[in-house]
Structure 1
Amino acid sequence: MNFEIEKVYLLFLIPIILMVMYLISKKIKLKDKGINFININRFIIITILILAMCNISISVKTKDSSTIFLLDLSHSMSNYKGEIKEFVKSAIEASPSNNKIGIVTFGENQEIEQFLTYSKSFNDIQTSPIGNTTNIEEAIKFSLSMFKDSNYKRVVLITDGKENQGDILETSTYFKDNQIDFQVYKVDSEQVEDVYIEDIDILDKVAIGEEFSVTVNIKSNIKTKSRISVYSGREKKK
């Protein structure tokens, strides 16, 4: 249980008001028990009002918690799969018995390696998402859909941070709004030469014999040459 007081300085008013009321009662020499009782009630009411203005908040963590490990298995992380597996295995073994564990692997898409469970029997990574690109944003959104509202929630992202689709910064409000603990295990991977087609723009419908254009967006982190072939079925057109 954690207490947070936004306006701590207002608490100093309580002893000041108590001292003033004590001096007034001593000066007037009140002996009427009824009047003293009224003054005590006034002090209690004033104290409650001051505490209300302090904006005191109490946060309580539930006993049960849920942790989802997000494993980046894109091509840039291909040499670190063993390291990722050992990190997750050690973290699961060290987690308390009341902590549910879920595992999601991702690259261009996302796959559920393990649904949220109390089991600590993780040994190896079985899923193989498409590794051509790294979309951390969509992986995070996908993992959030696995949580239950009643649990304390945590997401542990394991990645080299080399995203080339989506934007992880767009997910910051998700963690804040849903009170989710977000942690990142950064893997310092080597720079991998990467050339890939980000998207293809083509008309949905084309009449027979009609000319049309195809726009291909190619991304690369190295200076190189490329050749694109266009097929109609199995027939090479260009």
Structure 2
Amino acid sequence: MSFPSTLPLEFERPAYLFLLAGLPVVLLLSWRSMSGVDPWRRYASIALRSLVVLLLVAASAGAIFVKPNRELTVMFLLDQSRSVVDADPESSGSLRNNQLDYVRALARRIPPDDRVGIIAFAGQANIEQLPSRGGVFTDKLSPVSLPDQTDLAQALRLASAVLPQDTAKRIVLVSDGNENVGDLLREVDVAAAADIPIDVLHIEYDHPNEIMFDRLVVPAQAQKDQRIPVKLVIRSERPARGRVRLYHNDRPVPLGEEGGESLAVELVPGPNSFVAQMVLNQSGPHRFRAVFEPDDPNQDRMAENNVAAGLTLVQGKGEVLLLAARPGDDALLRDALRRENIDVTLRLVEEVELDLVGLQQYACVILANVPASVFNEDQHRALAAYVKDLGNGLIMTGGDEGFGAGGWIGSPVEEVMPVHFEVKHKKILPQGALVIILHSCELPRGNYWGERVALKSLETISSRDYIGVLAYSWNPGGVNWEVPIQLAANKPKIAAVIKRVQIGDMPDFATTMELA
């Protein structure tokens, strides 16, 4: 509950304001009890008692005096990747200059006390103008690094770090949205947790001279020695000529009647289809890649999209992949499986290209006492998808590095397994306590990795373990228990608090070590 904007007063528990109904009773009793006192003392005593009652009611209702901050800082994030920048970015009508002109026009309309900042980005983000009053001072944007990439997440992360703490905040993202690096949704969640609104201006454009591979179509699965069609679809904006090359497992495929390594084609505006026939005489994954090469490079603005790929899986007799963490581990298990006429291959984790494509040649994967730390996040998701999406088998053996002891708690693999990795028997599992001290601001992207380490540690420990997080934060200043030590029962709530921590440069380690 709050009063009109002229009174900066709010109440956390407005229901207690009904106690003010008893104020007339207090006034009446005070008036009668002091009938023999001289008027000056009588009025002063009644006013003092009324003030005490008002203060008690206000304290019970949680009165808060709010000082509104009417200053605003807006960070403009301008996409300068190749997907939006013209071939001649220095021309007056280029998308690059149009974005800067758009920011200038908006800056002229904002109040003089508000601040404007500019970040240009592609694969890397650069600060073109720190938040400043008085509009835009940048005449033109600097060249960006890695123009073939679009990392929206990095730009958003940098903008959140640059925004000042003493004003309201806002981010305006100017982009076509073609992200190919980073995780934008995660950074949006972090900005939302910090109460930073994000506006998006979607860039629309047209490329008149463009040829691109629309798709390469092959069956998802096939039988051994089966002939399959490989359909190539090329889209062109104008009539063009060129050559098509097709590769099967990185080997050229003969095309056309003469059986050459390329096929001469004439493209018409719109989609153009071509079909090749292939016989797959081996089990496992078959990768296809097609490339279009125009006779006149000027007819194609961007050569990078002249490539398409496809995958067909040929089922074999059901091979089992046995993964071990150390040489010689589980040789007995391998021999036992082979005695049962099961085709099994024993490999060390580092010897296998563990992705969803490579796993498809196996009917089952056995993790023989392998810890979760030897796999990255993409490999965790690949193992889960191998079971959930492809319907294959996954077996995990016990040991000192399997299940919960191996750090698999909360992983995507646990979600697809038929058992919980966290031991529920309180008499068997002792409680642990983990205190994390965050002091990572002096490292490149240190605060980001400090947050990631803290979140991963939270995921790994049991819900019966204790966790606490210490940091030298800016609000309030000094060493603080950002997460007071507590049971890790509500992990989503604790994770949200960790994402909001503003990590500062602590002057010493003794204070935090003593607290921990």
- Tell whether the structures are fold-level matches, with TM greater than 0.5: yes
Residue in 2 aligned with 1:102?
117
CA–CA distance in 2 between the matches of 1:194 and 1:88?
35
TM normalised by structure 2 equals 0.32
Q: Deviations over 1:131-171 (max 9, x none)?
A: 33332222122123334444444322223344333333433
Q: Which residue number corresponds to residue 5 of structure 1?
A: 11
Letter in 2 for 1:112: I
Distance 1:222 1:22, change over 3 A: farther
In structure 2, which of residues 193, 199, 209 is the aligned counterpart of residue 184 of structure 1? 199
Select 1:49's aligned residue among 30, 52, 56: 56
Q: 2:182 aligns with which of 162, 166, 179?
A: 166
Supply the AA of the counterpart residue of 1:77: V
Q: Distance in 2 between matches of 1:123 and 1:116?
A: 16
- Percent identity (aligned): 21
Q: Structure 1 residue 105: deviation in Å?
A: 0.9
Return closer, same or farther for 1:67/1:188 CA change in 2, 3 Å cut-off: closer
| Displacement after TM superposition at 1:104 (Å) | 0.6
How many residues in Structure 1 have an aligned counterpart in Structure 2? 199
Please list the CA deviations of residues 29-71 of structure 1 after superposition, one character each: whole Å capped at 9, or x if unmatched.
64144676555433322322222233325142165x5332111
CA offsets, 1:145-199, max 9 Å, x none?
A: 334444444322223344333333433565466564x33133154799799xxxx
Contact 1:30 1:36 in 2 (8 A): no
Which structure 1 residue ranges, 5 or more long, are not aligned? Answer: 196-219, 227-238
Alignment partner of 1:17 is 2:18: no
Q: Does 1:87 align with 2:93?
A: no
2:309 is aligned with 1:225: yes
Could you say which structure has the larger radius of gyration?
A: 2
- The answer on whether the counterparts of 1:111 and 1:127 sit within 8 Å (CA) in structure 2 is no
Q: 2:171 aligns with which of 155, 158, 173?
A: 155
- Are 1:61 and 2:76 an aligned pair? no
Q: Aligned equivalents of 1:160 and 1:4: distance in 2?
A: 42
Kept in 1, the 8 Å contact 2:77–2:118? The answer is yes
Contact 2:115 2:131 in 1 (8 A): yes
The answer to whether the 8 A contact 2:74-2:171 is kept is yes
Q: CA RMSD in A?
A: 4.0
Tell me what 2:149 maps to: 133
User: Cα offset for 1:25?
Assistant: 4.5
Secondary structure of residue in 2 paired with 1:94: coil
Q: Residues 31 and 174 of structure 1: is their aligned pair in 2 closer, same or farther, counting only changes over 3 Å?
A: farther
Describe the SS at the equivalent of 2:85: helix
Secondary structure at 1:111 match in 2: strand
Separation in structure 2 between the aligned mates of residue 57 and residue 223 of structure 1, nearest angstrom: 62
Name the SS of the counterpart of 1:130 in structure 2.
coil
Give the corresponding residue for 1:31: 35
Partner Cα separation in structure 2 for residue 7 and residue 154 of structure 1:
30
Contact 1:134-1:164 at 8 Å conserved across structures: yes
The question of whether the paired residues in 2 share the 8 Å contact of 1:71 and 1:104 is answered with yes
Say which structure is richer in helix. 1
User: Contact 1:76/1:189 (CA < 8 Å) preserved in 2?
Assistant: no
Secondary structure of the structure 2 residue equivalent to 1:154: strand
Q: 1:72: Cα distance to partner?
A: 2.0
CA distance in 2, matches of 1:44, 1:69: 50
Match of 2:77 among 70, 93, 109: 70
In the alignment, is the contact (CA less than 8 A) between 1:140 and 1:171 conserved in 2? yes
- Go from structure 1 to structure 2 and tell me whether the alpha carbon gap of 1:59 and 1:25 turns closer, same or farther (over 3 Å shift): closer
Shift of 1:7: 3.0
- Checking the alignment, whether the CA contact within 8 Å between 2:172 and 2:201 is kept in structure 1 is no
